[in-house]
Structure 1
């Protein structure tokens, strides 16, 4: 068998098998690390969702960047909607997967600060999907909102490319940094996904609520839902493949050795013995 191993063919095959085994082990580790990250992220999101509601201004301030650790925290705020500066965000889907817009209306608090509020999904125009859509009525007067705190969207976070030159009051991302110069009041960092209002809004004044990460629907960002339950099976799958390669290498080596041995035995049987010349007397 050693003679088989030191042939050029088996040296190359062994190197290929070793390389493939190392690559599959590495892919398994990568998937396992993704599983750990997803599990930690799910735990953090669950803690944030089930934490008691707190006033928004305890977690955000004008010009601040909301840390990832505060994402999905339940917050409350009181104020009036600013219809003059509301806008829509393009290429967003509802629970049914239809593409439309998110309606974002700033809310001005009693201490003259502004907060971006994602009121939910609205359908596009039937004739022109890129046109500014028909919007639900904006409630007047003072409201108390409950919602989920979100970090400012970026192209990296959302997977949506930020495009300039869009029609008026249309944007690609929800970003307090992008909107701060448009509003007369100081704008708190991040934004709020609307969950409920007090008093409750009539149906005519409501957009379709954005699903949270604990709902059966798409959230604001796929990062909250993608990867659940898939990374660990993929890791185990790659490791099983890596385990099968050495076994396959041994099986092929034994088969090759047996085949060579069989050929040698056949050659020995079919080759007549060499005749020796008679010795002169």
Structure 2
């Protein structure tokens, strides 16, 4: 009854089904690992943001020092005076309302003399031309105390590319190494993403919102879908086999029926 399974068509179908089972299992675990990584990232951000703020230069204590993964988003403080002469903007950045503009980055000379820190003061809208420097609220004069989030230097990846030939004081990356080479001012590694200034200025760029650390994404649902699909493969194959067997049985039964005698 099931000898048709030895045919070329059914052997190929069986082989495809057998190959799909481990593939879909692996895809399910891939989505599970992405879910676990997302949860771990959210927990890391939540702890970093709620930890007691520490001075920036205690975490990034040397020019070019890398901000490690466990320090990303760490709440930090810094006290010093802005250096507007070496201020620059970062192109093609979006606001909280997804409008395209610039990030405004201004170095801050620390009052304790331990170095200079890049500060992302926030977002401003694009001007009439992408070749001219945008309208930027002036950095506060005198000594200020800042609160913010520690961020690693940006590197070219995805849609962010480090291109030459940009207008004056416009860049595609926030990089302490790059700005050290451009300005000649040694900068501590990483940068501070501003959340508060004391004393508060009358006008300032739009500060960046806190990163989302509650959304776990759809990866767990995708993992379950892949594993359900894994279970459906043998079930679907068996249904196809049974249907083929029934169709062949009907054909065989019809062929065995003798034709009625034709009356003379």
Aligned residue runs from structure 1 range 210-229, under 5 A: 210-214=208-212, 228-229=216-217
Aligned residue runs from structure 1 range 87-98, under 5 A: 87-98=88-99
State the SS of the aligned residue for 2:257: helix
1:188 equivalent to 2:219? Answer no
* Aligned counterparts of 1:132 and 1:6: Cα–Cα separation in 2: 74
State the SS of the aligned residue for 2:41: helix
Checking the alignment, whether the CA contact within 8 Å between 1:105 and 1:118 is kept in structure 2 is yes
Deviations 1:168-227 (A, max 9, x none): 10000101111112344421000000000111111x2x100011214xxxxxxxxx78x7
Give the aligned partner of residue 41 of structure 2: 41
* Aligned counterparts of 2:259 and 2:170: Cα–Cα separation in 1: 89
1:114 equivalent to 2:116? Answer yes
1:176 equivalent to 2:164? Answer no
State the SS of the aligned residue for 2:118: strand
Aligned residue runs from structure 1 range 138-217, under 5 A: 138-156=139-157, 159-202=159-202, 204=203, 206-214=204-212
Q: Mind listing any 5+ residue stretches in structure 1 that lack a counterpart? A: 215-223, 273-281
State the SS of the aligned residue for 1:147: strand
Deviations 1:20-67 (A, max 9, x none): 222222211111111111111111111111110001111002221111
Q: Mind listing any 5+ residue stretches in structure 2 that lack a counterpart? A: none
State the SS of the aligned residue for 1:190: strand
RMSD between aligned alpha carbons? 1.7
Count of aligned positions: 258
* Aligned counterparts of 1:185 and 1:164: Cα–Cα separation in 2: 20
1:233 equivalent to 2:221? Answer yes
* Aligned counterparts of 1:159 and 1:176: Cα–Cα separation in 2: 20
TM-score w.r.t. the length of structure 2 is 0.93
Q: How many angstroms does 1:152 deviate by? A: 0.5
* Aligned counterparts of 1:255 and 1:13: Cα–Cα separation in 2: 15
* Aligned counterparts of 1:256 and 1:238: Cα–Cα separation in 2: 27
Give the aligned partner of residue 242 of structure 2: 254
* Aligned counterparts of 1:270 and 1:257: Cα–Cα separation in 2: 22
* Aligned counterparts of 1:240 and 1:112: Cα–Cα separation in 2: 57
Checking the alignment, whether the CA contact within 8 Å between 2:2 and 2:245 is kept in structure 1 is no
Q: How many angstroms does 1:98 deviate by? A: 0.3
State the SS of the aligned residue for 1:17: helix
1:104 equivalent to 2:105? Answer yes
Checking the alignment, whether the CA contact within 8 Å between 2:57 and 2:114 is kept in structure 1 is no
Give the aligned partner of residue 4 of structure 1: 4
